Amino acid sequence: MQEVQLIRLIYLSRVWGNMTNTQLDQILADSRENNRQRKITGLLFYGGTSFIQILEGPESEVIKLYSQILEDERHHGCRILDIHITDKRVFENWAMAYVHSSKDDFEELSAVLTGRIKKHQQASHELASLLRKYLGKKIELI
């Protein structure tokens, strides 16, 4: 499917306390339903105290969703790590993949992502292979 102006947005946020499984399940269920309709795909990475989320899809839809996510009181301190135009989805089959990681894995991913982005070295395929390393560990596919 040819899409105009596909973008990928990656942000980091903090949770207020511990998220219960029920709260996480609710976010995922809503996300998957909405994202399918909005042609948004991506990954939610949860590390106990923080989220990293990757959203990819049509520019207007991703921006609209991110502005809703910013207002969401279940988390705070949203900070965009990267946003770029792309012509290929990394998560094309996942309305919202989910990884619940250990704190250490989360910190590692966060450091790598932040470091790479700072150096402007990340290409989509590099990011994809990096993430697949984590996705292989524990992931819910839809």
Residues making contact with ligand FMN (CB under 6 A): 13, 27, 30-31, 34-35, 44, 51, 53, 65, 68-69, 72, 74-75, 96
Nearer to ligand FMN by Cβ, of 31 and 122: the residue is 31
Whether residue 99 contacts residue 138, with contact meaning beta carbons closer than 8 Å, is answered with yes
DSSP letter assigned to residue 120? T
Question: Cβ of residue 21: shortest distance to ligand FMN, in angstroms?
Answer: 14
Query: Least distance from C-beta 83 to ligand FMN, angstroms?
Result: 15
d(CA 26, CA 28): 5
Q: How far is the CB of 33 from ligand FMN (least distance, A)?
A: 8
Residue 102 dihedral angles phi and psi, to the nearest 5°: -70, 160
Q: How far is the CB of 2 from ligand FMN (least distance, A)?
A: 23
Comparing CB distances to ligand FMN, the nearer of 27 and 99 is: 27
Residues 6 or more apart in contact with residue 34 via CB below 8 angstroms: 40, 65
Residue the block writes with tokens 């996510």: 69
Which one, 80 or 123, has the nearer CB to ligand FMN?
80
Nearest to 69 by CA among 18, 27, 116, 102: 27
